[in-house]
């Protein structure tokens, strides 16, 4: 059973404040840069907008999308384009997911989760493996989400686990049921595989 700290009745400002504290602590622990991974989708951006306004030295942070749709960055469906537009003016360096990219150790990996138990773009049909030898994969969700019918590039489970901490923001009772069951090891969806292999701190804002 995964050791997950659940923070109930969370709201965007609470999550942003928590993230700001964690990033500030990670920066204070080193003289160099830190890397983090953040999700796309509708939930993260209001939180990121609040986070940008905090007193964080973004010039020392490299930000990786957890996944992206394989579209140009100017496309409305591009996670990288949206993250870059928001965080680069604050001073962050935003990486693009590419096959030859060297995935770092992350101070923090922030993830969402779909009601089908997918994380990043690791959907159930893609059969993501804890022992995947690759840090990045190109894949096609099946079925394709109608709101984003595109092939994907994504960090794999080993890449997501290359981190000091995992944090989730889970909105909706249907997703919460799936997440809680995954933490108890009651199914084998991608979220359960990740949580079952994780040894680092895991925090879930619900």
Buried b (16+ CB within 10 A) or exposed e, 171-194: eeeebbebbeebbeeeeebbbbbb
125-182 per-position pLDDT tens digit:
999 999 999 999 999 988 888 888 999 999 999 999 999 999 999 999 999 999 999 9
CATH topology of domain 4-205: Rossmann fold (3.40.50)
51-98 per-position pLDDT tens digit:
998 999 999 999 999 999 999 999 999 999 999 999 999 999 999 999
Task: Return the biggest CA–CA distance within the chain.
Answer: 45
Among the listed residues 28, 181, 176, 36, the one whose alpha carbon sits nearest the alpha carbon of residue 103: 36
For residue 67, count other CB atoms closer than 10 A to its CB: 27
Q: Supply 37's token pair.
A: 């991974």
């Amino acid at each position: 059973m995964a050791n997950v700290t659940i923070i109930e009745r969370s709201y965007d400002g609470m999550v942003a404040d928590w993230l700001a504290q964690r990033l500030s602590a990670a920066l204070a622990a080193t003289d160099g840069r830190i890397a983090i991974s953040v999700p796309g989708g509708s939930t993260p951006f209001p939180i990121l907008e609040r986070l940008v306004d905090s007193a964080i030295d973004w010039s020392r942070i490299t930000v990786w999308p957890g996944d992206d749709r394989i579209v140009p960055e100017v496309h409305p469906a591009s996670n990288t384009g949206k993250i870059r537009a928001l965080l680069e003016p604050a001073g962050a360096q935003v990486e693009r997911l590419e096959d030859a990219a060297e995935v770092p150790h992350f101070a923090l990996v922030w993830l969402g989760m779909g009601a089908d138990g997918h994380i990043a773009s690791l959907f159930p049909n893609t059969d993501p493996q804890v022992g995947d030898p690759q840090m990045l994969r190109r894949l096609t969700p099946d079925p394709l989400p109608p709101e984003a019918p595109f092939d994907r590039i994504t960090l794999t489970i080993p890449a997501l686990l290359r981190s000091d901490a995992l944090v989730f923001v889970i909105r909706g009772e249907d997703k919460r049921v799936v997440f809680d069951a995954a933490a108890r090891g009651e199914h084998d969806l991608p979220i359960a595989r990740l949580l079952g292999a994780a040894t680092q701190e895991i925090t879930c804002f619900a």
